[in-house]
Structure 1
Amino acid sequence: MDNPAALRHLPRKDEGDTTMTTGFFWDERCFWHAGGNYAFTMPIGGLVQPLAAGGLPENPETKRRMKNLMEVTGLFDELDTRSAAPASREALARVHPASYLDEFKRLSDAGGGELGHAVPFARGGYELAALSAGLAIAAVDAVARGDLDNAYALSRPPGHHCLPDLPNGFCLLANVAIAIEAAQAKGLAKRVVVLDWDVHHGNGTEAIYYDRDDVLTISLHQEGNYPIDTGALADRGRGAGEGYNINLPMHAGSGHTAYLHAMDRVVIPAIEAFAPDMIIVACGYDAAIVDPLARMQATAATFAEMTKRIRDTADRVTDGKLVLVHEGGYSEAYVPFCGHATIATLAGSKIDAADPMARALHARQPSPAFDAFLRQSIDDMAQQLDL
């Protein structure tokens, strides 16, 4: 290894956390999900070389490299690592109509295809998406039952953009919603918070729970990014769900202190007021400064600090019941460090994979004047949200 000092193996757990067990749910087969030869609207052939991931920014390498980094540092060995069964048809049908599931399965068996907005899949895509949802179900189930203190599900394909009858944004099944519905059907949870810190608005999760008051959805996202027509501050829910949907559309360029200010000023007060049984984080890493699909300036340290805040909140409010489910993040070089920092913090581990870009990224954080503007904009939104 070129820089062995970058791996610092220190005492395993935080003081007082010696009994903590963090689950890590993953399956090699989830890395095999593919979109076929698909490069947006660009044809494949002639002078266009086919891409290994089919031209999609959502590819397996960000996830595989994250898991591999955890193995190299030893963090993987500190976790309770598990796989899971694919989500059953019954579990999927609590969120998705039969017509959607039937057509998805038909196309999957026939060699693959596309059902909606730029979400192609290859043969077997239905089974792999069901496995991805199954990992989320198993993680939520284990934490809700007290078998694990908290957990991380490395789900792929992701899920937070998927509507009940329409996939989009690389998402084919609504993983988090499917897991919530399974837990509620078993009587394991009644009130749940979904905190989505993926840089893109969690429009699918919002739509599923927009009329309900038993699930509080909170989305921190870059304003005007994908989807461009959802995620407004004024969208608070409807009917029984009025007030139970919170969108925080953050300005492009928001960095470390802005994200932590959003957590302290909006997210944590909203969670404490709702008093849930469990917190689930739709955990995307695409707010990172080097991500190709966004214009934010978070770092690995940002994700670690957000995780610490939400873990501390879960300890106070839900007896520690916290699950993170993987969503986006498209930098193959940097997602592994963001994920490692997040999971090490979740587990209370002292194993550190030192961020090789920390100094350079710190120097690129917003200027004091711009940062003050960003924090004031969050304060203004918090006031409009009555927080």
Structure 2
Amino acid sequence: MTTGFYWAERCFWHSGGNYAGNAPVGGLVQPLAAGGLPENPEGKRRLKNLIDVTGLSAELVLAGAEPASRESLLRVHAPRYIDEFEKVARAGGGEIGLRAPFGVDGYDIARLSAGIASTALRDVLAGLHANAYALSRPPGHHCTSDFPNGFCLLNNIAIAIEDARAAGTLRRVAVLDWDVHHGNGTEEIFYDDPDVLTVSLHQERNYPLDTGEFSARGSGAGEGANLNIPLPPGTGHKSYLEAMERLALPAIRAFEPEVIIVACGYDAALIDPLSRMLCTAETYRAMTAMTQDLAAELCDGRLLVVHEGGYSEVYVPFCGHAVLEQMSGSTIRAADLFAETYAGRQPSARFDAFVSELIGEMEEALR
């Protein structure tokens, strides 16, 4: 069985348009590829380059995708939002949400990003691959049904799920979000849906500031189908794996999904500029292995990993490479020199014990 890798060069061309504050672009203000945003193409482009250079890409099945259709978008997003998004993009770009600007091609590239996730899920469900990785950009997990924010313009994972449901190939799915920021968009879209479990491990009160509480458990028919695991700044490798083992994976096991989808941000890594967590490439490899084992137990190994955030251009590629090594069973390695350099920055045993107590309190509350 193979691992699919879905990507498109065009996704690297997404930009925030003119996003240089109040100063006009030009003169001494140099335009940046992403319009001055932390969410720029380099982390993802360099991941693709790294798997090419190491030879790992030759062991994957590389594929592209068609853009998601308007019909697909409207299964998740409000018509008024989609209409406004397309209109503003065609007029040159702008910003109609919060921290989610886009250029003239923003609408078309966002549709392509969603199409990559949807196609990858379709092929995993069809048995074409054992698992798949979607290198989607722009990311999606902060985009709600009618409001783009946090660099996210369309909710890629939600669109993929609803496409599969419309095709009759999926009913019950678990979304495991280990991006360092709360997956508020995916939570909002499926908050009252009993057939979609959303689990988010994130740095507490990072972004958004007003979502991600442990007490948010879903509503109506979906009550109990949402689990937030807020972790304190400074949480590292040991405690992330403990949170997975004691909270995230048991919730997924009890839910019994037909496929597991990971919203895979690498911004909990130890040198990411937008977080204060201390994960390493080995953390992401281990979390992937744990999730793979659970997928093998529950749903014939069906697993889709969709790329979300991660803002260290130099470290994201090594974290992503570790995930793809694990997914594909490859023996090719990209040595993590950053973990060695920052070896002294892992949390103290005392701090790990503190986080373990917090995890225990959440575990007890779920009983």
Fold shared per TM-score above 0.5: yes
Conserved in 2, the CA contact under 8 Å of 1:289 and 1:299? yes
Name the counterpart of 2:223: 242
| Residue of structure 1 equivalent to 2:98 | 117
Indicate which of 278, 293, 306 corresponds to 1:297: 278
Residue identity matched to 1:194: V
Which residue does 2:344 correspond to in 1?
Answer: 363
The alpha-carbon deviation at position 47 of structure 1 amounts to 6.1
Who is 2:202 aligned against? 221
1:267-313 CA-partner distances (Å, limit 9, x unpaired): 11111100000000000000001000000000000000000000011
Contact 1:44/1:50 (8 A) holds in 2: no
Deviation at 1:52, TM superposition (A): 3.5
1:15 aligns to what?
none
For 2:92 and 2:176, the matched residues in 1 are separated by: 35
* 2:23 is the alignment partner of 1:43: yes
Matches within 5 A, 1:137-286: 137-286=118-267
User: C-alpha separation between the residues in 1 aligned to 2:272 and 2:22?
Assistant: 22
Equivalent AA in structure 2 for residue 89 of structure 1: R
Q: What is the rounded CA distance, in whole Å, between the counterparts of 1:188 and 1:255 in structure 2?
A: 37
* TM-aligned CA deviation for residue 372 of structure 1: 1.1
1:16-39 deviations in whole A, cap 9, x for unaligned? xxxx20000000000000111214
- Paired residues of 2:15 and 2:33 also in contact (CA < 8 A): no
The Cα shift of 1:77 comes to 0.6
Partners of 1:49 and 1:96 in 2: CA distance: 35
CA distance in 2, matches of 1:42, 1:106: 23
Residue number in structure 2 paired with 1:316:
297
Deviation of residue 50 (structure 1)? 3.8
Q: Which deviates more, 372-381 or 289-298?
A: 372-381
State how far apart, in whole Å, the 1-side matches of 2:306 and 2:13 are: 18
Deviation at 1:380, TM superposition (A): 1.2
Say which SS state the counterpart of residue 280 (structure 1) adopts: strand
Q: Identity over the aligned pairs, expressed in percent?
A: 61
Kept in 2, the 8 Å contact 1:299–1:361? The answer is no
Measure how far apart 1:115 and its partner are: 1.3
Letter in 2 for 1:124: D
Cα offset, 1:44, TM superposition:
4.2
CA distance in 1 between counterparts of 2:95 and 2:345 reads 39
Offset at 1:135? 0.2
For the pair 1:60 / 2:41, whether they are aligned, the reply is yes
Distance 1:163 1:349 in 2: 36
1:303 corresponds to which letter in structure 2?
Answer: Y
CA distance in 1, matches of 2:60, 2:30: 40
In structure 2, the partner of 1:33 is 14
- 1:96-148 CA-to-partner distances (Å, cap 9, x unmatched) read 12111111111111111111102111112111000000000000000011111
Q: Aligned-residue CA RMSD in angstroms?
A: 1.1
Whether 1:21 and 2:2 are equivalent positions in the alignment is yes
**Distance change >3 Å, CA 49–CA 185, structure 1 → 2:** same
- What secondary structure is seen at the aligned counterpart in 2 of 1:218? strand
- The aligned counterpart of 1:382 is 363
In structure 2, the partner of 1:101 is 82
The answer to whether the 8 A contact 1:84-1:138 is kept is yes
| Contiguous gaps of at least 5 residues in structure 1 | 1-19
Please identify, of 130-139 and 52-61, the stretch whose mean Cα deviation from structure 2 is larger.
52-61
Which of 44, 55, 59 matches 1:74?
55
Which AA in structure 1 matches 2:125? A
Distance 1:261 1:183, change over 3 A: same
**TM-superposed deviation, 1:49:** 4.4
Q: Distance in 2 between matches of 1:225 and 1:43?
A: 28
Q: Distance in 2 between matches of 1:361 and 1:24?
A: 30
Gaps of 5+ in 2: none
Aligned to 2:262, what secondary structure does the other structure show?
strand
How many residues matched? 366
Q: CA deviation at 1:51?
A: 3.0
Q: Deviations over 1:136-161 (max 9, x none)?
A: 00000000111111000000000000
Instruction: Note the C-alpha offset of 1:48.
Output: 4.9
Q: Name the amino acid aligned to 1:43.
A: A
SS across alignment from 1:286: coil
Distance apart, 1:326 and its partner CA: 0.5
Is the contact made by 1:211 and 1:238 (CA closer than 8 Å) also made in structure 2? yes
Question: In 1, distance between residues paired with 2:107 and 2:263?
Answer: 21
Aligned residue in 2 for 1:16 = none
CA contact (8 A) 2:14 2:34 kept: no
Matching residue of 2:65 = 84
CA distance in 1, matches of 2:175, 2:77: 19
CA distance in 1, matches of 2:191, 2:225: 8
Q: Render the CA deviation track for 1:51-80: whole Å, top value 9, x for unaligned.
A: 342110000000000110000001011001
2:171 is matched by which residue type in structure 1? K
Matched residue SS, 1:155: coil
The aligned amino acid for 2:296 is D
User: Which secondary structure does the structure 1 equivalent of 2:138 belong to?
Assistant: coil
